[in-house]
Amino acid sequence: MDGHDRGAKVICRSLRDAGFEVIYTGLRRTPEEIVSAAIQEDVDILGLSSLSGAHNILFPEILSLLKKKGAGNITVIGGGIIPEKDIPGLKKAGLKVVFPPGTKTADIVEWIHKNIE
Ligand code: B12
């Protein structure tokens, strides 16, 4: 939604400041656009931000497209307005972790260092 990329931008900046190379693809990308950018850029992690309530549709679609295109090894993480009750289903679809509103950016950096080679 308009302006709701603030969280995504905060995460981009904090990961960049922590030394990661970050590629931000912008608001309202389709699952196809996201998956094709992730594959072209050969990313280690794909981060998804959703505040619109459409995560239960869009996240599994992205995860399944990644698998279909042979990129199921990319770690997918997410954040935004994602109700607690939706998290188990998203994890079942392959999402590794969800960072809800109020998460400290340092905790996200720490999670990546601990969980990604
Ligand atoms: C600010 C805001 C707006 C602003 C946005 C512009 C601006 N100037 O900022 C304005 C006023 C324009 C707005 C409008 C609307 N909004 Co609004 N908005 C918000 C609000 C209050 C805060 C969002 C925000 O900026 N948070 C600050 C950032 C830093 O936090 P964050 O995005 O959550 O990110 C953190 C984590 O979630 C996580 N994270 C997020 N993404 C990612 C990604 C990765 C990879 C990782 C690792 C972590 C991560 O890390 C961040 C740091 O902790 C939220 C409610 C809320 N409390 O979140 C509602 C909210 C998102 N809005 C909502 C709605 C409904 C709307 C409107 C549709 C309302 C309307 N009827 O007009 C419109 C849509 C406008 C449009 N055309 O698209 C709803 C969405 C409902 C839903 N999902 O079911 C919410 C949840 C409010 C509510 N409780 O109803 N909104």
Looking at residue 1, its pLDDT comes to 82
Measured in Å, residue 55 CA sits from the centre of ligand 1 at: 13
Q: Is the pLDDT of residue 117 over 90?
A: no
Q: Is the pLDDT of residue 48 over 90?
A: yes
Q: Which residue's C-alpha comes closest to atom 36 of ligand 1? A: 101
Atom of ligand 1 nearest to the CA of 3: 6
Q: Which long-range contacts (CB under 8 A, 24 or more apart) does 4-7 make?
A: 4/51, 4/52, 4/80, 5/49, 7/49, 7/51, 7/79, 7/80, 7/101
- The C-alpha atoms of residue 110 and residue 19 are separated, in whole angstroms, by 12
Q: Is the pLDDT of residue 75 over 90?
A: yes
All domains of the chain in start order, with CATH? 6-73+80-101 (3.40.50.280)
Q: Which residue's C-alpha comes closest to atom 30 of ligand 1? A: 7
Looking at residue 10, its pLDDT comes to 97
Measured in Å, residue 33 CA sits from the centre of ligand 1 at: 22
Q: How confident is the model at residue 87 (pLDDT cuts 50, 70, 90)?
A: very high
Looking at residue 28, its pLDDT comes to 92
